[in-house]
């Protein structure tokens, strides 16, 4: 058992993947000598060499396009997008090439590419550095999309994503990079594309992923002091969604609140709310509610705490749910 920050867990997971498979190659801006702006790849170029940890030009489309070529030749590229908002120059490559080549080639050309994206706000940065673009990718057939929330998942899910034969967009909650927890480096991890209950409860089901899992857990703790029991489910996988544990929970609690940082309108919460409403209609005591970002451009750092969903906004939604 090791105590690791989420960032260090990612670094350790990358190191293990590179040790296990010489075909794993890392690519990205400033990931070599600098170790990345968040130091996730710190020390890897020194230990594995410049041929396997590649400092690229500032050209996201070129980085992902090169990863496509490497994947065609049997490599397993792991691409780092420096900040969430920088992924859009590569969007065309991701949705028209990375996501489609396996089907286009009738299965002859797998695309074992992992695209790491630090996402979300909370670090005092500005627009293009604090985005939550996960819905764009979850909507794209051919891509798998996951989001980690804690060091153990960061360590294991990154290795599982790299080993997966299909492309995986791997979202990392940048404001949680410094959160610490114990990680069992020898445990058998749960399946990559699975959600799980991280706190049991009876009154309301809270669904969250990435940075909002910690917020949901804090809300559950605060609600307990008021005599309410909230169950928290970490979705972990966004495409495909694993809703079996969610439906089991909602059928028992009868109430559901979905929480994410991304803008509420047409965010993943909308799809999840629709699916839960369809499958759990006769068990629901209240409509499925959503807590998300406002439909505005990400604000300057002085205002981001007003923008980001917090404990009070989650508990307000719980109050509304309980009021039906």
Residues marked as catalytic: 129
The DSSP annotation for 64-95 comes to: HHHHHHHHHTT-EEEEEPSSGGGGGGGHHHII
Q: Is there a cis peptide before residue 148, judged by omega within 30 degrees of 0?
A: no
List residues bridging with 147 in a β-sheet: 171
CA R_g for the chain: 19
Place of tokens 């090791």: 2
Helix, coil or strand: residue 11:
helix
- Please name which of 84, 86, 17 lies closest in space to residue 57, comparing C-alpha atoms: 86
List residues bridging with 208 in a β-sheet: 234
Q: The tokens of 247 are what?
A: 């439906």
Residues 277 and 243: their CA atoms lie apart, in Å, by: 12
Q: Are 115 and 169 in contact (CB under 8 A)?
A: yes
Q: Are 190 and 242 in contact (CB under 8 A)?
A: no
Question: Which helix (H) or strand (E) segment is 293 a member of?
Answer: strand 289-293
Q: Are 99 and 140 in contact (CB under 8 A)?
A: yes
Q: Are 236 and 242 in contact (CB under 8 A)?
A: yes
The DSSP annotation for 153-198 comes to: HHHHHHHHHHHSSS-EEEEEEGGGTT-EEEE-TTSPPPPTT--EEE
Q: Are 142 and 100 in contact (CB under 8 A)?
A: yes
Place of tokens 């309410």: 228
């Amino acid at each position: 058992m090791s105590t690791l920050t989420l960032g260090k867990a990612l670094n350790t997971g990358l190191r293990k993947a590179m040790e296990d498979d010489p075909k794993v190659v890392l690519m990205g801006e400033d990931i070599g000598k600098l170790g990345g702006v968040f130091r996730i790849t710190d020390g890897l170029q020194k230990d594995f060499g410049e041929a396997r940890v590649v400092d690229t030009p500032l050209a996201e489309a070129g980085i992902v396009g090169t990863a496509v070529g490497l994947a065609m030749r049997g490599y397993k590229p792991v691409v780092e997008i420096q900040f969430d908002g920088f992924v859009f120059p590569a969007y065309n490559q991701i949705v028209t090439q990375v996501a489609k080549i396996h089907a286009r080639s009738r299965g002859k050309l797998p695309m074992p590419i992992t695209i790491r994206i630090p996402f979300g706000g909370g670090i005092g940065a500005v627009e293009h550095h604090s985005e939550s673009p996960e819905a764009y990718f979850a909507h794209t057939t051919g891509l798998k999309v996951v989001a980690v929330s804690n060091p153990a998942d960061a360590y294991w899910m990154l290795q599982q994503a790299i080993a997966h034969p299909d492309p995986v967009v791997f979202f990392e909650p940048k404001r949680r990079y410094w959160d610490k927890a114990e990680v069992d480096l020898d445990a058998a991890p749960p399946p990559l594309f699975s959600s799980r209950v991280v706190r049991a409860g009876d009154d309301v089901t809270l669904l969250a992923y990435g940075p909002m899992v910690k917020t949901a857990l804090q809300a559950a703790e605060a609600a307990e002091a008021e005599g309410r029991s909230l169950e928290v489910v970490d979705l972990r996988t966004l495409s495909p969604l694993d809703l079996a544990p969610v439906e089991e929970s909602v059928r028992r609690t009868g109430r559901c609140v979905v929480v994410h940082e991304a803008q509420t309108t047409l965010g993943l919460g909308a799809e999840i709310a629709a699916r839960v409403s369809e499958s759990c209609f006769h068990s629901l005591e209240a409509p499925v509610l959503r807590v998300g970002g406002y439909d505005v451009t990400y604000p300057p750092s002085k205002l981001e705490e007003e923008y980001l969903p917090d404990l009070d906004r989650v508990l307000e939604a719980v109050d509304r749910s309980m009021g039906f």
